[in-house]
Amino acid sequence: MFSLQNKTAIVTGGGSGIGKAISLLFAQQGAAVFIFDADPKGSDEVVQEIKSAGRKADFFSCDVSQQQQVRTVVQAVLKERGSVNILVNNAGVAHVGNAENTKEEDFIRLFNINVKGIYNCLHEALPDMKKTGGVILNMASVASSVGIKDRFAYSMSKGAVLGMTLSTAKDYLQYGIRCNCISPARVHTPFVDGFIRKNYPGQETAMFEELSKSQPIGRMGTPSEIAHLALYLCSDEAGFITGCDYPIDGGFIKINN
């Protein structure tokens, strides 16, 4: 079950965190994985891990907010593989702040990466995917659905991800293209560790505990747990699912709110 044999998958932000877990799992299940990421070191390490297991992977340096860069790397994948079967729009950045203290440049940065980045990838991949069908999976957030304190710009961007998912699912259903999104709550990634070190020096352990307990289930999620849901939604077994948002949140939305 959940085989991705002979599939070509693009994973943006695949060099770390959730994207890394998705890239490794998709390759394990047989997909040729192409990582689009601005971090060459982490991405190269993921590619080498996949290749050492006898699987296919490659890395293209790409700033998803730049449409020409996205166009170039998508065309490179098409030249090598002939088609794209799976597009995982995972690349994104976070920000802490409300409507008053969020700076314009930060608001625009989140829009450019989290929203325009997905648009750029859709814009460049869809013309080919229309020929053969395929699956698109966008990374949204619980912030797409509920209010979270001091996440004004981030919530704006992730609400847009949900809207783009529904619109894309509707527009491309006739071409055999499915489009869904995942909405994680807090997941333990290197980004979380870095955020705690930067904002709470000397209080790392206590803050980690506090953030973990803010999830009703009592802990943060893991990247591999998100990756397994991604695998299901991108597999043929999920062929009857499109236009849906899947919270994976330890009860955050329904139990906390």
Whichever domain contains 163, its CATH number is: 3.40.50.720
Q: Is the pTM of this model over 0.75?
A: yes
Between CA 207 and CA 196 the distance in angstroms is 7
Q: What pLDDT was estimated at residue 85?
A: 98
What pLDDT does 192 receive? 87
Inside any domain, residue 2 = no
Residue-level pLDDT at 256: 66
Please tell me the number of Cα atoms within 13 Å of 253 on its side-chain side: 14
Residue 236 lies in a domain: yes
- Cβ neighbour number for residue 174 with a 10 Å cutoff: 8
The answer on 211 and 108 residing in a single domain is: no
Residues 95 and 144 in one domain: yes
How many domains is the chain partitioned into structurally?
A: 2
Same domain, 132 and 19: yes
Residue with tokens 């849901």: 229
Whether residue 198 sits in one domain with residue 87:
no
User: What was the pLDDT predicted at 200?
Assistant: 86
Whether residue 124 is found in the same domain as residue 233? yes
Is 65 within a domain?
yes
Ramachandran class of 86: left when φ > 0, alpha when ψ lies in -120 to 50, beta otherwise: beta
Distance of CA 178 to the CA centre of its chain: 16
Q: Specify whether 230 is located in the same domain as 138.
A: yes
Tell me if 255 is assigned to some domain: no
Residue 190 is predicted with a pLDDT of 86
Q: Do residues 106 and 94 both lie within one domain?
A: yes
Co-location of 135 and 165 in the same domain: yes
**Residue 87, CA distances (Å) to 36, 143, 168, 199 in order:** 11, 22, 13, 34
Q: Which residues are catalytic?
A: 154
Asked if the structure places residue 71 within a domain, the reply is yes
Domain that holds residue 201: 187-220
Do 194 and 16 form a contact (C-beta atoms < 8 A)? no
- Are 125 and 210 in the same domain? no
Query: Does any domain span residue 257?
Result: no
**pLDDT in the model for residue 191:** 82
pLDDT values of the chain reduced to their tens digit, one per residue, 257 residues: 999 999 999 999 999 999 999 999 999 999 999 999 999 999 999 999 999 999 999 999 999 999 999 999 999 999 999 999 999 999 999 998 999 999 999 999 999 999 999 999 999 999 999 999 999 999 999 999 999 999 999 999 999 999 999 999 999 999 999 999 999 999 999 888 887 888 789 999 998 998 898 889 999 999 999 999 999 999 999 999 999 999 999 998 988 65
213 shares its domain with 101: no
For residues 234 and 205, membership in a common domain is answered with no
